Structure 1
Amino acid sequence: MPAKSQYELDREANIAKNRALFEDLGLKQTLESLGTSSAKPIKPAAKPVPEKRLKRERVDEPTAPRRASRRLQKKQGGDFEETEEEKKLREEEEVKEEEARKEAEEKSRLAKRPRHDTLNFNTLAESNSPEDLSSLSTIMKNVVQCSRRVADSEAFVYKEDAEKQEKREVQGIREKVQNLKVVSRAKVVQDRIYCSAYHPELTKDLLFFGDKAGMLGIWDARAPQDENEVDGDITPQSREGGKYWRLQVHWPATSKSSISCVKVDPIDSHNVYTSAYDCSVRSVSFVSGVSNELYSNDDKILLTSFDLPPSGQEMWISDTAGGVTHLDLRETKSKARRYGLSDNKIGTVSVNPTRNHFLVTASNSRVVKIWDARKLDAMPISLLDDAAQVEATEEVDNSTPRRSVLDFDSDVVNQYNETSKGKGTMRAEFQHGKSASSAYWDARGRQIVSTSYDDRIRLWDISSPTFKIDGEFPNLKPFSQIRHNCQTGRWLTILRAQWSTNPDVFPYFSVGNMNHSLDLYSCKGELITQLTDPTMVSAVQAVTCTHPSLVERAASGNASGRVNLWAPEGLKDEQE
């Protein structure tokens, strides 16, 4: 056995000394726990076996409220004020939700309503409308039948003291219109108003409005209201005047069916025409109480406007693909011819009322153009491709009816315009700074007014000898350019200057103003008056029209579907 080291000897001595001390103190348990260096090491105790953990049932505990924007908290009833940005976002969201709701409702109605059929007023009327359709038919049947009056192309053209004579005419109009007030107002349609038309009836103020959802509103603005409709608690500013009816002429009731143009038939004042983004043109007869489809295209090209000459026998229709379609109302729609007159959307087409073969178009290509319709109609089908020629030949031979409209695209039109036979098809053009929103002939067929996004209203005066030129018109430049804010943005209808069709007065036009007024200008570019009524009007009057025979009448509509009749204030007292 090896000898122990000094360290081990000292350690054992200390243990023995401590043992003797613990025995003297009687601490046997402590003594037993002490061991010597030779004692075996104590084995560690075995680890306990873990118990099987039971699955606890989930208990729903109240959670802290989630964070939300102030806009949502206010929507849920919280007391928070919206910022302008939050308000704008909320309104946009509400508009989207409303459109989605309407679209869902219309899907269920589409199956029950054949799109191209002849429909009666009971089908077109709102299912929950309180208006009585029989009263509408009675009113319209009692309207005196009248046709559109044609002005003299040389009317109000003075050879002596022209400036003095023109100022006298303008002053005469100003005296009649400068004090006009809102004598009646109503929410005739539910959505943004896109177009309007004033009926020529003299004993009534009968107006038509087309809205964003394909609804046609008919308003008898000064009709007396029933006693049960008059509420004494409603303020004059909120009270609705006259009577109105609503017909869902185009469907579905969404922005896909917006009525882009409405006009009274120039030879039958009991009939109204409408065009819409559902790619169709319809007529509405208030005598028979039915709506018929006059035209539709299979290419899903949206229709933007249309116009008719005073004879009422033909129609020119513009579309978003840059085309203008000629439709003879005495023939079937299969014989229509379409001409590509622009590479961009054509917003308006206007027929010269005294020289019906001249058209003016305004397009997003920034150009206003004058066309000779005689040259367009004479365009040979040999310019078309082989398939289109075969189709046209089959129709001429009466073997099978033509299936679609003959389409002369812009390349064909330009090619034809450069030939000796087609020379003068396009008579003149003028480039604007930005998109040309509209262009119209006046009642005499010698002046044009255009509006553009470059914030200008332009006026042209074309003398009668110029129309006799066989080729292009020389030096077509506007004689007047009026600064006018046309930046309507997304939520307002585009501003369009509309001529008065009254042939008895010096030509003037109306146009909406972003400052909530209705502006009237003479054909010389002079401001006649700005109609305002702050107590009744607090929105942009984007859509305007004037009475075809009475100078003291004008109407306007805004983006909410509310319309106003502007007339002498005395008429308001007569109603009350």
Structure 2
Amino acid sequence: MSEMSGLIAEAEEKAGSKGCPQVQVNEYKENENIAYTSLRPIQITTLRKKAKVYLYPFSLSNSRLDLFKFSKSLVENNSSKSVVHKKTDRKKTWRKVLTSKMKALSSKAESLLLKPSLETYTESTKLDHKSTSDSVTPSVDMESSDEDSAAGLDDFSGLSPYERKRMRNIRENAKFFASLQLAESAARLRGMIKKSVPPELKRKRPKKKETEIGCRRSMRLLKVDPLGVSLPASPTQPALVEEENPLLPPGPLEMIPENQDDSSKLFKASLKTWAEMSQTSNGKTKKGLSSIKSYKANLSGMVISEATVRKVTKGAISSVALHPSEVRTLVAAGSKFGQIGLWDLTQQGEDGIYVFHPHSRHVSCLSFSPTNPAHLLSLSYDGTLRCGDFSSAVFEEVYRNETNSLSSFDFLDNASSLLVGHWDGHLSLVDRRTPGTSYEKFFSSTSEKIRTVHVHPLSRQYFITAGLRDVHIFDARFLKSKGSQPLISLTEHSKSIASAYFSPVTGNRVVTTCADCKLRVFDSSSISSQLPLLSTIRHNTFTGRWLMRFQAVWDPKQEDCFIIGSMAHPRRVEVFHETGKNVHSFEGECLASVCSLSVMHPTRYILAGGNSSGKLHVFMHQETSVIG
């Protein structure tokens, strides 16, 4: 330390004699309370041609001596901060002396930091008993400092064998990675990445081949046979498209069955029998209605068998009617393709089924005339209303409207006049007594649609219509050509209404069928401003698109009970009381489908229901006598 101080003094004298500024060195005074003290150069600055060296004490307690085991890289990083900046060319000799002395000091400090903790602690203890000048600056020659730096890490005798091996591995790894030339490889990769890449062109989707065959497509739709060979085009296909909704010519049509020969003696005999059948007076109605107990007993005796199930039409059955005869059982069914099927259950097998085609579209309403049961009136969506006369074997045209589609009809004034409803909400009053063509009066109503029309059984001037979401009661005497207003409107329905009918005997009740899965019964005993709601019955009326909609119809023999189809399993037809109680359910092994539309015989215990495949299901007593 004394030697270094002498060199610095001599340099200052020479610099002073030559006009150089003096260099101040701050010395650290030893603190006796610290276990170990070492010197570390912190900052060397040159301000106005004066070099200053700042030293600060660094101490560790005995318990933390192991923290001194730093790598050489850390010491070099700290020692690099003690580099003396270059001076002017005139002071080269002084600068070399000062730089060499500072390098010797930093090299000695690094060697002290890399020694083991025990030796460092021993040396620090010895330095505590020396003077400040001896402990701070040990004599180190410039040549020894150069030899230590050139010797490498293996010349540190103070390191343990493990640390020497570790330092050797670090040095060898550094040389190995330097030989790999990773920096040059990274530069080449960056150059490759930065090369301009041509923009990607949008991929053109291949056009779907029209002749491509899907794995799940029907072979029938593809028009190929099971072997995969294409079938020849059917020459009748264009004709089928044209004849989907053909408009039949006006005027009468001959009653010719499609499924049998018109010259058949059996068919001619059947026509004669049907023409001679007359309606028997309804003695049950005159004597009074049966009690609920007796009514349930009679319903329980009605059964279905294979002999009472037949397919009578090609498409779905859209309307059903029962002949009022008490001698023979004749059921009429209208289909969605304009057919009318007649089934005489008195005849055995398929001989009693006759199919006619008087219409081109849905036959939505069928009814035997109340004054002449030999007349079967039918109404279709094609805008025609015809009367099938069994005595003349002709379907006469009663009413024709090619502009508006017809929905339903009912009789007025002993069946001499008809009230016809249109899908667009209009009404027509047709008089059948007009020779040649029927006389028509056209009326408009506030209804957006009319699905069903039903006349009051006693007060024939009143009739009820079921529309889109409204039920109206009109007075036929006050109909106008424009803007006919209803007397009463039933607004309790939230969805479209399928039907609305008065009770058959007195008309004191009205039953409606709505798409909100509810059946409602109203009190119509007094036609006033509003009809009170008597009961609401939860019933599944959601039939879907492939089934005909349910319609609740009254039993003509029982004023307070009505019949409706059901979606429940097993399949059934249900009978409800006006209070909402279930009176009876018609079930059987032969009833395996949903009967959307049903009708009861006016005097006998016979029920006929039609499904959407063209089949009729008949429930009746096995014996011929009627239970009283």
TM bucket normalised to smaller:
0.5 to 0.7
Please point out which of 302, 309, 313 is paired with 1:185.
309
CA contact (8 A) 1:371 1:428 kept: no
Q: CA deviation at 1:446?
A: 1.6
Q: In 2, Cα distance between the equivalents of 1:474 and 1:74?
A: 59
Q: Is the 8 A contact 1:455 1:484 kept in 2?
A: yes
CA distance in 2 between partners of 1:341 and 1:428 (Å): 12
Separation (CA, whole Å) in 1 of partners of 2:258 and 2:344: 17
**Residues 368, 431 of structure 1: 8 Å contact kept:** no
Which residue of structure 1 aligns with residue 386 of structure 2?
A: 282
Q: Which residue of 2 aligns with 1:451?
A: 513
Q: 1:135-214, aligned counterparts within 5 Å?
A: 135-146=269-280, 169-183=291-305, 184-214=308-338
Give 2:353's match in structure 1, choosing from 224, 236, 244.
Answer: 244
Contact 1:126–1:248 (8 Å) recurs in 2: no
Matched, 1:220 2:344: yes
CA contact (8 A) 2:398 2:438 kept: no
Distance 2:434 2:474 in 1: 23
Which one-letter code corresponds to 2:375 in the other structure? N
Q: In structure 2, what residue type is equivalent to 1:541?
A: C
Of 440, 460, 463, 2:522 maps to 460
Residues 19-68 of structure 1 show CA distances to partners (whole Å, capped at 9, x for unaligned) of xxxxxxxxxxxxxxxxxxxxxxxxxxxxxxxxxxxxxxxxxxxxxx9753
Residue identity opposite 1:220 in structure 2: D
Instruction: Go from structure 1 to structure 2 and tell me whether the alpha carbon gap of 1:546 and 1:151 turns closer, same or farther (over 3 Å shift).
Output: same
Matched, 1:338 2:442: yes
Q: 2:609 matched to which residue of 1? A: 556
1:117 to 233, 251, 257: 251
- 2:407 matches 1:304: yes
1:68 aligns with 2:214: yes
Find the residue that maps to 1:136 and give its secondary structure. Answer: helix
Do structure 1's residue 499 and structure 2's residue 608 form an aligned pair? no
The alpha-carbon deviation at position 441 of structure 1 amounts to: 0.9
- Cα distance change of structure 1 residues 74 and 357 upon mapping to structure 2, 3 Å threshold: closer
Please tell me whether the aligned partners of residues 259 and 354 of structure 2 are also in contact (alpha carbons under 8 angstroms).
Answer: no
Aligned to 1:91: none
* SS of corresponding position for 1:353: coil
Structure 1 residues 432 and 354: CA distance shift in structure 2, 3 A = same
- Is the 2:490–2:530 contact (alpha carbons within 8 Å) kept by the matching residues of 1? no
- CA distance in 1 between counterparts of 2:471 and 2:583 reads 26
Q: Secondary structure at the match of 1:182?
A: coil
Residue 114 of structure 1: CA displacement?
5.8
Percent identity, aligned pairs only, is: 24
User: What's the CA shift for 1:526?
Assistant: 2.2
- Aligned residue identity for 2:593: A
Partner residue in 2 for 1:541: 595
Measure how far apart 1:428 and its partner are.
3.9
State the one-letter code of the partner of 1:508.
C
- Residue 69 (structure 1) shift: 1.8
| Aligned counterpart, 1:324 | 427
Give the Cα separation in 2 of the matches to 1:512 and 1:273.
Answer: 24
Q: CA deviation at 1:484?
A: 0.8
Output the amino acid matched with 2:355: R
Is contact 1:446-1:462 (8 Å) kept?
yes
Residues 343/281 of structure 1: CA separation in 2 closer, same or farther (3 Å cut): same
Q: 1:74 to 1:217 in 2, by over 3 A?
A: closer
User: Paired residue for 2:621?
Assistant: 568
Deviations 1:298-341 (A, max 9, x none): 41x11111111461111111111011211122236563122222
- Listed as ranges, the matches of 1:463-502 within 5 Å are 463=525, 466-467=526-527, 473-502=528-557
* CA distance in 2 between partners of 1:129 and 1:202 (Å): 27
Give, in whole Å, the separation in 2 of the partners of 1:339 and 1:450.
24
Residue 584 (structure 2) pairs with residue 529 (structure 1):
yes
2:493 to 432, 435, 448: 432
Alignment partners' CA distance in 1, 2:370 and 2:242: 36
Query: In 2, Cα distance between the equivalents of 1:360 and 1:557?
Result: 25
Contact 2:456-2:462 at 8 Å conserved across structures: yes
| 1:353 and 2:477 correspond | no
Q: What are structure 1's unaligned runs of at least 5 residues?
A: 1-64, 80-96, 157-167, 226-239, 252-256, 380-407, 418-424, 468-472, 572-576
Instruction: Say how many residue pairs are matched.
Output: 399
When residues 461 and 559 of structure 1 are mapped into structure 2, their CA distance, relative to the original with a 3 A threshold, is: same
Q: CA deviation at 1:148?
A: 8.0
Which residue identity lines up with residue 548 of structure 1 in the other structure? P
- Map residues 101-112 of structure 1 onto 2, 5 A cutoff: 103-104=240-241, 106=243
Instruction: Provide the C-alpha distance between the structure 1 equivalents of 2:423 and 2:457, rounded to a whole number of angstroms.
Output: 24
Q: CA deviation at 1:500?
A: 1.9
Change in Cα spacing, 1:130 to 1:529, as seen in structure 2 (3 Å) is farther
TM-superposed CA distance for 1:130, in Å, is 10
Give the structure with higher Rg (CA): 2
Query: For 2:238 and 2:261, how far apart are their aligned partners in 1?
Result: 17
Which secondary structure state, in structure 1, belongs to the residue aligned with residue 251 of structure 2? Answer: coil
Q: Gaps spanning 5+ residues in structure 2: where? A: 1-210, 228-233
Letter in 1 for 2:577: S
Q: Which residue of 2 aligns with 1:441?
A: 502
Q: Within the alignment, does 1:267 sit opposite 2:385 as a pair?
A: no
**What is the TM-score of this pair, normalised by structure 2?**
0.58
1:148/1:267 contact within 8 Å kept:
no
Tell me, yes or no, if the aligned pair for 1:342 and 1:363 is still in contact at 8 Å: no
CA separation of 1:319/1:478 partners in 2, compared to 1, >3 Å: closer, same or farther? same
Normalising by structure 1, what TM-score? 0.63
For 2:281 and 2:502, how far apart are their aligned partners in 1?
19
| 2:502 maps to amino acid | W
Per-residue CA shift, 1:133-161, capped at 9, x if unaligned?
31331331342355789968x966xxxxx
Three-state SS of the structure 1 residue aligned to 2:326 is coil
CA contact (8 A) 1:148 1:310 kept: no
